Amino acid sequence: MTITTYIIISIIKSLAVIFVLLTAVAYSVWLERKVSAHIQNRWGPTRVGPFGLLQPLADGVKFIFKEDLTPPYVYKPLYIAAPVISVVFAITSIAVVPFGNSLDIRAFHVGGLTIGPISTPFQITDLNIGVLVILGITSMGVYGVALAGWSSNSKYSLLGGLRASAQMVSYEVSLGLSLIPVLIWAGSFSLRDIVLSQRHMHWNVFYLPFGTLAFFLYLISAYAETNRTPFDLPEAESELVAGYHTEYSAMKFAMFFMAEYANMVTVACLATLLFFGGWLGPVWGSDGSLLNMAMPVIWFCLKVFFFMFLYVWVRWTLPRFRYDQLMAFGWKVLLPLSIANLVVTALWVAARA
């Protein structure tokens, strides 16, 4: 593959992944509104398109044309930069996520020019430290939240920003420690290698020693990292109006919204890859067929959809913690369990070596 072909393929994959991610973010909002409505015995969006499917488009148009107010007392450079920081880091993390095995295209001719054969992974870039890259990029998102709270020059925004910063830093420790047993078991930081180590339905959630515990530790920490119920203390509408984005409106508010749901998609992708076999599934097409290339992507999307549905289900089932309960749970429960699970897994792997 020539460097020109590589660059063209990378651009096409980047645009395709960003389009799919932003579409998934938009329809995650629709999914949340519909599922929450059914949980509460309501209809949810129904009037804009069939089943309300065009509601995300209507919301996007509303945000674009809504008046963008900037309070006079804010520190404008950081006030504007904060939502940009949040959404950029939220979207960037998807670059190392593999959605399937590979796309194989036979050689074809265009105007006397032969192109191919081309074999490229269903992934923007395949890094051998993919897990570290995702953890590093997502952890930078806390700067957008903290800066939004401080630059807004509002007591509600500042309290929301401080809560978010403390919460994300606290639960990030447990989240990282919950993933180390998977890395030890797979012997690699590459997301693709971790998925391939779970072949023949040997998913880490079942076959890893205490894999179910590791999965639940990761899931709870990830819920706290994305500020979702029952860990939505940074927003806490009943106490802080809307938390760190109280003073934001129009597209700047929409960017925080996009960042939250993009982070939810990333968390769902990571849970699928590390614990549930990624794109591997029980049903495949015949070798070399289009179905053989499509089925892994379908399995991956179905697993991610399950975790997105779980997000909504948990939100409308569990009540919010008090802030002291949230911090105590992170440091006194999740952290000791994560360390214990790591030690036991390390001893298990060493005993088998």
Write the CB contacts of 234 (distance below 8 Å, at least 6 apart in sequence): 145, 160, 161, 163, 164, 167, 227, 240, 243, 244
- 104, containing H or E segment: strand 102-105
CB 167 within 8 A of CB 223: no
2-38 pLDDT tens trace: 777 778 888 888 898 899 998 999 899 899 889 989 8
CA distances from 350 to 311, 326, 344 (A): 36, 35, 10
262-304 pLDDT tens trace: 999 999 999 999 999 888 887 654 455 667 777 888 889 999 9
Phi and psi at residue 69, to the nearest 5°:
-90, 135
Q: What is the DSSP letter of 330?
A: I
Domain extents in the chain: 70-103+126-352
Q: What is the mean pLDDT of the chain?
A: 85
Q: Which of 4, 200, 12, 26 is nearest to 122 (CA)?
A: 12
Question: pLDDT: is 53 or 232 the higher one?
Answer: 53
292-339 pLDDT tens trace: 777 888 889 999 999 999 988 998 888 888 888 888 998 999 999 999
Cis peptide before 98 (omega within 30 of 0): no
Q: What mean pLDDT do residues 145-156 have?
A: 86
- Return the amino acid letter for 341: N
Angle formed at CA 280 by CA 199 and CA 115, multiple of 5 degrees: 110
Q: Which of 65, 126, 303 is nearest to 205 (CA)?
A: 303
pLDDT of residue 274: 93
Q: How much is the pTM?
A: 0.88
